[in-house]
Amino acid sequence: MSIKVLYFASLRETLGYSHETLTLPANIATLGDLRDHLARRGGVWEALEEGRNVRAAINQNMAGPEVAVADRDEVAFFPPVTGG
Amino acid sequence: MNTISVQEADFDVGAEIEALSAGRCDVGAVASFVGLVRADTLAGGGDEVSAMTLEHYPGMTEKSLEAIVAEADGRWRLLGTRVIHRFGRLVPGERIVFVGVASSHRGDAFAACEFIMDYLKTRAPFWKKEDTPAGGRWVDAREADDSAAARWAK
């Protein structure tokens, strides 16, 4: 399963990446699994650990940790929004 | 008609308000909101914001604004909606956002305008970074914005 992951705002700066393409191991089924998987990279990636104030979207719709991730999805992680 | 723009350029408030009722006689009320960059100072003082850079998520931004406007359309009797949100570098005094709503009566126009702003603040993927003498500082989300949006929960 291959997905595109995007990072925005302070999270993008912390991680040093705006996007990446990932081939996911078979045991990753949901957005929560993906977030754990990324946080386990350690170092700056701990910014994605459970409990950190990070929001996510799948295919440009806000999504919670229980939502399934599918092949070719566009997943995004970002801090709470501050527009307007 | 509903129109959404996400753009770097400034906009003409008067022209946008006029366009909401141009050529029609069924509009009895146009309510609008304009958001501006403030030269905030931190508690303690001296740390004035000299500029702000707005980042957004192209694609999702437009999609989320369309969803918010569609939701407003479902809740009130609206005759037209216009949302403009700028991105890029803006200095204090510059306009950031415009929301204009046309309706037959003021009640629907006022309510929908406020609803769209409250939802935009908590759902549209924009992020502000302030330039201060001490360097760049990402603006934190405010709980007050969450409670403002929560008021509209059905």
- Mean pLDDT along residues B28-55: 84
In a domain, A84, yes or no: no
Q: Do A81 and B124 touch (CB under 8 A)?
A: yes
CA angle B27, B113, B79 (to 5 degrees): 25
**Contact residues, chain A, for B124 at CB < 8 Å:** 81, 83-84
Write down the pLDDT at residue B49. Answer: 85
SS3 for chain A, per residue? Answer: CEEEEEECHHHHHHHCCCEEEEECCCCCCEHHHHHHHHHCCCHHHHHHCCCCCCEEEECCEECCCCCECCCCCEEEEECCCCCC
Residue B40 has pLDDT above 80, yes or no: no
Share of chain B above pLDDT 70, in %: 95
Q: Do B117 and A57 touch (CB under 8 A)?
A: no
Residues making up chain A, counted from first to last: 84
Q: Do A76 and B57 touch (CB under 8 A)?
A: yes
Domain count, chain A: 1
Paired tokens of A22: 């990932």
pLDDT band, residue B133 (cuts 50/70/90): confident
Q: Do A9 and B97 touch (CB under 8 A)?
A: no
Mean pLDDT in chain A? 96
Write down the pLDDT at residue B88. Answer: 98
DSSP B24-68: -SS--EEEEEEEE------TTS-----EEEEEE-TTHHHHHHHHH
Of A57, A62, A82, the CB nearest to B127: A82
**Domain span including residue A18:** 2-78
**Contact residues, chain A, for B84 at CB < 8 Å:** none
Write down the pLDDT at residue B132. Answer: 84
**CATH code (residue A28):** 3.10.20.30
Q: Is-contact B82 B100, C-beta < 8 A?
A: yes
Of A8, A57, A62, the CB nearest to B55: A8
pLDDT tens, chain A, 84 aa long:
899 999 999 999 999 999 999 999 999 999 999 999 999 999 999 999 999 999 999 999 999 999 999 999 999 999 999 999
Give the number of beta-carbon pairs within 8 Å between A and B: 76
- Mean pLDDT along residues B33-56: 82
Write down the pLDDT at residue B46. Answer: 59
Residue B128 has pLDDT above 60, yes or no: yes
- Mean pLDDT along residues B103-117: 98
In a domain, A58, yes or no: yes
Best CATH choice for the domain B2-147 from the list 3.40.50.2300, 3.90.1150.10, 3.90.1170.40, 3.30.540.10: 3.90.1170.40
Q: Counting beta carbons within 10 angstroms of the beta carbon of residue A57, is it exposed (0 to 12), middle (13 to 18) or buried (19 or more)? A: buried
Write down the pLDDT at residue B45. Answer: 59
- Mean pLDDT along residues B97-106: 98
Note which residues in 25-84 of chain A have CB less than 8 A from chain B.
53, 57, 60-62, 76, 78-84
**Contact residues, chain B, for A7 at CB < 8 Å:** none
Mean pLDDT in chain B? 93
The C-alpha of B152 sits at a distance from chain A's nearest C-alpha, in angstroms, of: 17
